[in-house]
Amino acid sequence: MPMFTIVFSRIFLNETQTLPVYLSVVPIILGVCIATATETSFDLGGLISALVATMGFSCLNIFTKKSLKETGMHHLRMLHIITKITFLLFVPIWAFVDFRNILGDETVMKSENMTRSVVLLLMAGFSNFAMNVIAFTLIASITPVSYAVANATKRIVIIASSLFFLQNPVTTSNLCGMMVAVLGVLMYNKTKYDQTMAKRRESILPNVRSDSNLFRHNLHLSPLHRTHTELDVHNHFTILPSNGQFHNSPNLRHPY
């Protein structure tokens, strides 16, 4: 996903990344590929489908970020609108494909199985909705590339969870791939943190040119606002310390 997001961000959002960011994304992609391709249940068709789905998710994230910038809409408001549109679009498909199969399956229609299925569907729906709320909040707060890196981290957690809960056989290549991906995530986070701190230092400590000789700045003023030079001040004013008075010299020419 980071690879697709970087390419699409450059095309649609005109965003460019620094070289350290590109270098940190490489181990993430390689690690996920190694951990996925070395699984015993690997299937080429599933990999192609996953790549197409990942490309679609990358486009979704980028266009969501673009829409939030252009419309100024709150991200939860946009999620609410997208959810309603998605519901209207997919209910007919669900009724034609899944609901018809559910009614024709006697094992599902039993009371015990029906209750369990409804509970699982509600849990899945709530989890998916919570995931979308968190996703839209992150997209509104960070760049699409940062979200793609976080999503790659989620893939690592999914693989590790499948190894733990489903007792899938793990190989050395699986572990190496996950470690490489985790290293890439750490590199990316360190790179973005350094860039953020550098921007903060620039905003707090701006470059200011200081000059103690204030008479030099008279050159940048107009003739009407230009003050006398240092030599003119000594020539035009004579201070008499005897009585504390001063007199204008005859050479004084008022600028007005």
* Residue pLDDT, tens place only, 6-19: 777 778 777 777 88
Residue given tokens 């050395």 in the structure block: 172
Looking at the structure, tell me whether residues 225 and 199 fall in a common domain.
Answer: no
State how many domains the chain has.
2
The reported pLDDT for the residue numbered 126 is: 92
Q: Is residue 161 part of a domain?
A: yes
Q: Is residue 125 part of a domain?
A: no
When mean pLDDT is compared over 55-64, 79-88, 244-253, the highest value belongs to 79-88
Question: Which of residues 256 and 70 earns the better pLDDT score?
Answer: 70
Looking at the structure, tell me whether residues 146 and 243 fall in a common domain.
Answer: no
Q: Is residue 44 part of a domain?
A: yes
Looking at the structure, tell me whether residues 200 and 222 fall in a common domain.
Answer: no
Q: Is residue 129 part of a domain?
A: no
Looking at the structure, tell me whether residues 171 and 76 fall in a common domain.
Answer: yes
Q: Is residue 93 part of a domain?
A: no
Cβ(102)–Cβ(108) under 8 Å? Answer: yes
Looking at the structure, tell me whether residues 146 and 189 fall in a common domain.
Answer: yes
Looking at the structure, tell me whether residues 17 and 44 fall in a common domain.
Answer: yes
By residue range, what is the domain housing residue 168? 2-81+142-204
Helix (H) or strand (E) holding 137: helix 111-141
The reported pLDDT for the residue numbered 61 is: 79
In eight-state DSSP terms, residue 213 is -
Task: Go through the chain and tell me how many residues it has.
Answer: 256
